[in-house]
Structure 1
């Protein structure tokens, strides 16, 4: 039931394309996409009834299912359209003063880097990116490398659990444990985590966590979440203040719409009229994973990632960026080429291969994503194309 040839039929990806870039925007299987459209149809049958009443109980059901999947309380998570929006909300609400520091790495996602950079300049604190030595030797060397830049002014750390550009699974649990010892708050970018590796928020115990549901969980586009530890939620304020906000102010106490017993939910879940069908489809995406035994899919995908990395590294002679245990369903490889944009265009225009390419620190590289619909034929087509470019 979950072999690549069978799963391929459940996704809507153009069969003429060798699709090796699930990591960027995900891909939604037909049964989940059908559920998404059913929610949209329900809205249109009576928009007023749905938007003023039905949406709230259905959001709670959706958060309940997501909470079970990632092991946290349903009232500790709120939905956002994407991880960038969710990280922005954290940045806007952190308690940080002039000359304080936020410690991160040079492996973080570009939009988050930009937000931290801007916010630090405006508020006169230091956003510091530890330069992680590549290739990474092992977990211990990464952890030691990361903490080299910590000071007594470090108030927060911001780290990806799975990096976007390099596709590495970082040892954030160990970082969180050490941060607690140092009284440093932890903000984890888990955009690539749900549906990719196991996520247990109660066990991981970050202060803030952001995840995407539309990537590896295969929910519709525009479904992500923000987790905030319960004792920190009192400090959170939404950028958009709508009808669920204002109960603590006499001017609004009689008109604030309190749809739940949770302040965190009330102030965040209604942010003006928007289509929340993607949020409501998350339980169906979780059920899809269960129905098709996704742990087996993940294991098979990881084996194919490691095989692909070996094949391409042997072809190019370029070094691997990290040990095998840093990899899940993605890997990034160096490639001896002078122009990453030209490389991407040739692979797509000439060979119908969809893959992201990068140029960083003088090197050209590309990232491979392996999802359940991929098989060895996809890798062989990529390797064959790369041979013509060497």
Structure 2
């Protein structure tokens, strides 16, 4: 299966690519659909951007909303999850002394986002240390709830963490935040196409996710979700054609006939909309190739590889299996020069994989996608055994 699927991707054959989690990889049929959208744009830019774009942008919203357990009016297409989360973070009315509650597992770009917001507003960041190894939902939820105070205004959590590849059980924490009147903002950069999502049932106020990672759409495709009663809080970072002077008033539509939430964020000047317009093709590709079965195979391969490496290092995993991202696992390795190890893996073995230091741990973060194979996992184990002298 992996050999056949590998031929459907554009990954260089001389590279063992084990880093799908960073930027994703687009299958050939999806990439062709992407290029076709770009060609259509260039053949008649005025018709495409001036007359047809509003309806064209709507179609991926319909398809993706069905996949994510919501309706098209609750999501808007953007270029990446970081942009969506910045829009939310800079829209919320925070004041000096307000607290943003988060964890010590968050993505560095968003840590900087909230630091910027705090510098501008006088709010404060409160970081909860998530107990490791993560073994139970109660262990996680109790840590989060213990950090909530009367001053907590925002709960910011990753659904799947970037540095540690953990799948946080966020449902009860979100429900408690809502009960207390705390805005919940969720970083779902790694979730679309990776785990099943039902956004309306999850109940988060705001949720941003990438489509270019595990959904395998082109780079530059992502979404922002907002619950209907929260959409009026959103203020665009860029004021452009989608804005009207009446925007934000109850019952007022945006400049292009959608809600202000959609029109203000979608229509912000000239850009290439092809990545977002290709999301439907990515969803079709997954269905046509029974991607649930592919993903299950990848999950088994990822977990088996992590188990094999742990046997050689003697280092415990960061969590029980149910709290590890299905196709991505942060594997603890012995203390080392992580930059030198990453370079050696690439130069000597042509393996592309993130190796980094997180807090007091050294980690190699493995991603397994449909184009990966068991022989590639064997190569990784052998390479780490050699370079870390594990034999």
**Shorter-chain TM-score: which interval?**
over 0.9
Could you tell me which runs of 5 or more consecutive residues in structure 2 were left unpaired when the two chains were aligned. Answer: 248-252
Spell out the pairing of 1:154-169 with structure 2 (5 A cutoff): 154-169=152-167
Deviations 1:87-122 (A, max 9, x none): 110011012221111100000000000110121122
Q: Does 1:308 align with 2:296?
A: no
2:124 pairs with one of 123, 126, 130:
126
How far apart in 2 are the matches of 1:133 and 1:186?
Answer: 21
> Are 1:4 and 2:23 matched, yes or no?
no
CA distance in 1, matches of 2:70, 2:377: 37
Matches within 5 A, 1:245-260: 245-248=243-246, 258-260=255-257
Alignment match, 1:29: 27
User: Given the alignment of the two structures, is residue 274 of structure 1 paired with residue 271 of structure 2, yes or no?
Assistant: yes
Deviations 1:10-64 (A, max 9, x none): 0000111111100000000000000000000000111011111111111011111
CA displacement at 1:232 relative to structure 2:
1.3
Partners of 1:243 and 1:257 within 8 A in 2 = no
User: Which segment is superposed worse, 286-295 or 127-136?
Assistant: 127-136
Partner of 1:71: 69
Establish whether residue 198 from structure 1 lines up as the match of residue 199 from structure 2: no
Alpha-carbon contact 2:80-2:222 (below 8 Å) kept: yes
CA distance in 1 between partners of 2:240 and 2:120 (Å): 26
Between 140-149 and 26-35, report the one with greater CA deviation.
Answer: 140-149
Deviation, 1:257, is: 7.6
Give structure 1 stretches of 5+ with no counterpart: 250-255
**C-alpha contact 2:254 2:260 (8 A) present in aligned 1:** no
287, 291, 297: which one aligns with 1:290: 287
Moved over 3 A (4+): none
Contact between 1:337 and 1:343, CA under 8 Å: does it hold in 2? no
Alignment check: 8 A CA contact 2:81 2:210 kept? yes
Q: Residue 334 of structure 1 aligns with which residue? A: 332
Q: How far apart, in 1, do the equivalents of 2:241 and 2:72 lie?
A: 21
2:234 paired residue number: 236
1:83–1:224 CA contact under 8 A, matched in 2: yes
Match of 2:366 among 359, 365, 368: 368
Residue 322 of structure 1 is matched in structure 2 by: 319
Which secondary structure does the structure 1 equivalent of 2:37 belong to? helix
> What's the CA shift for 1:262?
1.5
**In structure 2, which of residues 105, 108, 121 is the aligned counterpart of residue 107 of structure 1?**
105
Contact 1:20 1:353 in 2 (8 A): yes
**In the aligned structure 1, how far is the partner of 2:168 from the partner of 2:349?**
33
CA separation in 2, counterparts of 1:138 and 1:377? 33
The number of residues matched between the two structures is 382
Q: Deviations over 1:141-171 (max 9, x none)?
A: 1111222221111111000110011111100
Alpha-carbon distance in 2 for matches of 1:258, 1:271? 12
